[in-house]
Amino acid sequence: MGKVSKDKRDVYYRQAKEDGYRARSAYKLIHLDEEYHFFDSVNKVADLCAAPGSWSQVCCQKLIEGRADASSDVKIVAVDLQPMSPIPSVITIQGDITEERTAQQIIDSANGKVDLVICDGAPDVTSLIAFDEFLQSQLVLAALNITTLLLAEGGHFVAKIFRARNCQLLVHQMKLFFSRVEIAKPKSSRQSSSEAFIVCMNYKSIPEYKPNLKSPLLLKDYDSLINELTGQNRMIIPFLSCGDVTGWDSDKTNKLPNKIPDTLFKENDAFRSERYVLLPPVEQPINPAYKNSVMLKKEGFLEKINCKEDEEFMIKIVEIETESAKSLEISNFEESTLLQNLDRMF
């Protein structure tokens, strides 16, 4: 949070600084807990995508400062790809939630599985709404994937999502693992934002399900590891958006700056310099298949005329084709064969 921001008129922004929170998002978790009470009977929490740490601060208040009989078993583990400033009573891990070793680090740090997993992570938005929704859903699924390794039976899971067409699909996926799944939007979340939070209560493991963090969407070595996946997992297709999203639109037809013919400009015309200039290709094709057709068109021999018997016309065509044949090093070239082909062509 900075001293100057476009959000400085936001009451939660100001209140967060007064209350010592690192971000206004702390109130989102507080408001969600007021409704669902998922901090009740919780001793171990994993905060995924934790930076800058406001949700971890709330966890400290709920589990340590807010309890008269705070247990020594209380463990709060914060994980993020980026380095994070330390928080008292919070174990920080710099790691990737899509890697199995990160899951093991969390379990080791918490001395066992956790009771609550929270995730306020979101990708850097690109202004491509559909793509942002896709990235966020994949991040939530990655968080769910590692949650199945971390969460104890009866535990809870809370994560940020973007309200989109695939919300119902996401809810059904979560219901495979949790008995109660709801989507909520806390009052501290801006109405102009499409963000919401999926609250999943009472985790139940599936006996035949084996957590697998080798998602093809997240693999660096996709080709070598994709064959390890079986069944429906092989149907996941990697998707990547490349290039500057603020650049030109490849689907748009753009008008040229000026289409006025050169003949309409005078020699000293003031607007002549603003005329659009057509540039030749940087490198011409060496021997394209349409080479002979272009030569014939330039000579005017592809016009609709009836001059099969015109001797001059035929001689000119023979000369052009003969020269072309020589350039291609065609041996035993016969003019009679060429003339027969030309007769069939015309």
Compute how many other C-beta atoms are within 10 angstroms of the C-beta atom of residue 219.
17
Look up 304 and say whether it is catalytic: no
Would you say 36 and 199 are in contact if contact means Cβ atoms under 8 Å apart? yes
| Closest of 152, 3, 26, 151 to residue 87, by C-alpha | 26
Give me Rg for the CA atoms of the chain.
Answer: 34
Residue of 75, 160, 175, 316 marked active site: 160
Q: What is the 3-state secondary structure (H, E, C) of the chain?
A: CCCCCCCCCCHHHHHHHHHCCCCCCHHHHHHHHHHHCCCCCCCEEEEECCCCCHHHHHHHHHHHHCCCCCCCCCEEEEEECCCCCCCCCCEEEECCCCCHHHHHHHHHHCCCCEEEEEECCCCCCCCCHHHHHHHHHHHHHHHHHHHHHHEEEEEEEEEEEECCCCHHHHHHHHHCCEEEEEEECCCCCCCCCCEEEEEEEEECCCCCCCCCCCCCCCCCCHHHHHHHCCHHHHHCCCCCCCCCCCCCCCCCCCCCCCCCCHHHCCCCCCCHHHCCCCCCCCCCCCCCCCHHHHHHHHCCCCCCCCCCCCHHHHHHHHHHHHHHHHHCCCCCCCHHHHHHHHHHHC
Phi/psi at 87 (5° precision) = -125, 130
d(CA 332, CA 269): 57
Annotated catalytic residues are 160
